[in-house]
């Protein structure tokens, strides 16, 4: 238990504290709150390194390829790595040519793969809140448990996306993997997923007032409000996780529409206190051996120059390849290019 530096615990005579004493008292109070919540005092400066690398962008630009190459790089460096997809039309198993249905499936030394379905997330929600919420809900509506969980998963605003973020957070905090590489759905769905923790908190704030007005037994009432508080706390934790533990990579192509969409995406990210750390421009023509390719290459270079001038971020360029990227060796080619030293 931290000792109070201001003397009030000894019932000394009260006096107006100087600035130094006041600052000490504030620090002590902050440590006391942390001590009470966690059982040990911590300093506000403590922070954990970002161990989740997220890839987002519109469909078909190479998010999965970039995620696979990054995961392979981390695993090769000796980090126990999980590459996980939350795209509900996933292709990780296909690109790595993994036939095993294990969850997670081992790809190679230090590298594991998983693809998360809505069913997986629904199971997670049931484990955390299902029985409690059902007990309350069934007091007002005649519904069996299976129908209830299907209803919640499909109707309640953002529950599936909220618990998708929570699933990744729990993976990150479990310590099972040193690195988690997160392959997401196309940009619109990903932005919906990222804004869910904030929206859930917004939706839940009036819920306490609504449920407090219901005619319910005191025990039931406490259960309802308790669940709401837990849900709000979960939403807060997930938003903090996205801000503090996730590195965001935007994958795009050098075309007009893709470049123009970036302004809106960057603005949406900033609106939730999130920052994109890295841009990857894929499918860039490097060897133009026909008038068609020469024309397209000139167009791409103009968009590349515009992108680099507009965003002061690390920018990597991946070439247009003459073959599919499937299997470890092909992914290794992309990995070497993506992680090549910047000249």
Same domain, 4 and 66: no
DSSP state of 193: H
Same domain, 38 and 137: no
The domain that contains 176 carries what CATH number?
3.40.50.300
Same domain, 153 and 302: yes
Q: Which two tokens stand for residue 228?
A: 């709401």
Asked whether residue 192 is domain-assigned, the answer is yes
105-108 and 111-115 strand pairing? antiparallel
- Residue 173 has phi, psi (to 5 degrees) of -80, -15
Percent of the chain with pLDDT strictly greater than 70: 66
Same domain, 89 and 63: yes
Most confident among 114-128, 203-217, 298-312 (mean pLDDT): 298-312
Q: pLDDT higher for 149 or 271?
A: 271
Q: Which of 172, 66, 164 is nearest to 115 (CA)?
A: 164
Q: Which of 175, 166, 169 is nearest to 79 (CA)?
A: 175
Q: Which of 244, 164, 148, 149 is nearest to 197 (CA)?
A: 164
pLDDT tens digits, one per residue of 272-296: 888 899 999 999 999 999 999 999 9
Q: Which two tokens stand for residue 115?
A: 């693809």
Same domain, 139 and 59: yes
Q: With bands split at pLDDT 50, 70 and 90, how would you rate the model's confidence at 330? A: very high
pTM of the model: 0.74
pLDDT tens digits, one per residue of 56-67: 888 889 999 999
Asked whether residue 343 is domain-assigned, the answer is no
Same domain, 245 and 309: yes
Question: Mean per-residue pLDDT for 237-254?
Answer: 92
Helices (H), the chain: 19-38, 63-76, 92-96, 118-128, 130-137, 145-155, 159-174, 187-204, 207-212, 218-245, 256-271, 291-310, 328-338
Q: Which two tokens stand for residue 11?
A: 């019932």
User: Domain residues for 16?
Assistant: 1-46
Q: With bands split at pLDDT 50, 70 and 90, how would you rate the model's confidence at 139? A: low
Question: Residue 318, SS3?
Answer: strand
Number of domains in the chain: 2
156: pLDDT strictly greater than 70: no
78: pLDDT strictly greater than 80: yes
Residues 79 and 179: beta-carbon distance below 8 Å = yes
**What integer best gives the mean pLDDT of the chain?**
76
pLDDT tens digits, one per residue of 178-187: 999 999 876 5
């Amino acid at each position: 238990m931290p000792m109070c530096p201001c003397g009030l615990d000894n019932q000394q005579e009260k006096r107006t504290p100087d600035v130094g004493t006041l600052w000490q008292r504030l620090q002590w109070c902050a440590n006391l709150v942390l001590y009470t919540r966690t059982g040990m005092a911590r300093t506000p400066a403590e922070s954990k390194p970002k161990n989740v690398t997220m890839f987002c962008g519109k469909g078909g630009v190479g998010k999965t390829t970039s995620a696979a190459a990054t995961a392979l790089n981390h695993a090769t460096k000796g980090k126990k790595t999980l590459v996980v997809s939350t795209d509900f039309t996933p292709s990780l198993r296909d690109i790595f040519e993994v036939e095993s249905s294990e969850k997670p499936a081992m790809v190679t030394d230090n590298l594991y793969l998983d693809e998360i379905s809505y069913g997986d997330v629904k199971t997670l929600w049931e484990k955390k809140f299902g029985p409690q919420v059902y007990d309350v809900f069934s007091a007002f509506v005649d519904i069996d448990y299976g129908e209830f969980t299907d209803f919640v998963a499909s109707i309640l605003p953002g529950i599936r996306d909220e618990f998708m973020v929570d699933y990744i957070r729990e993976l990150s905090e479990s310590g099972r993997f040193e690195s988690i590489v997160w392959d997401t759905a196309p940009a619109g769905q990903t932005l919906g997923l990222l804004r869910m923790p904030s929206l859930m908190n917004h939706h839940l704030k009036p819920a306490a007032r609504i449920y407090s007005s219901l005619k319910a037994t005191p025990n039931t009432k406490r259960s309802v409000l308790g669940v709401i508080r837990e849900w709000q706390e979960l939403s807060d934790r997930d938003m903090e996780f996205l801000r503090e533990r996730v590195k965001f990579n935007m994958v795009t192509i050098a075309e007009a529409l893709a470049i123009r969409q970036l302004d809106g995406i960057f603005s949406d990210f900033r609106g939730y206190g999130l920052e994109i750390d890295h841009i990857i421009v894929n499918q860039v023509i490097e060897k133009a051996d026909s008038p068609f390719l020469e024309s397209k290459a000139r167009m791409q270079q103009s968009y590349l120059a515009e992108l680099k001038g507009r965003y002061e971020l690390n920018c990597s360029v991946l070439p247009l390849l003459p073959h599919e990227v499937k299997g470890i060796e092909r992914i290794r080619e992309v990995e070497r290019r993506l992680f090549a030293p910047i000249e």
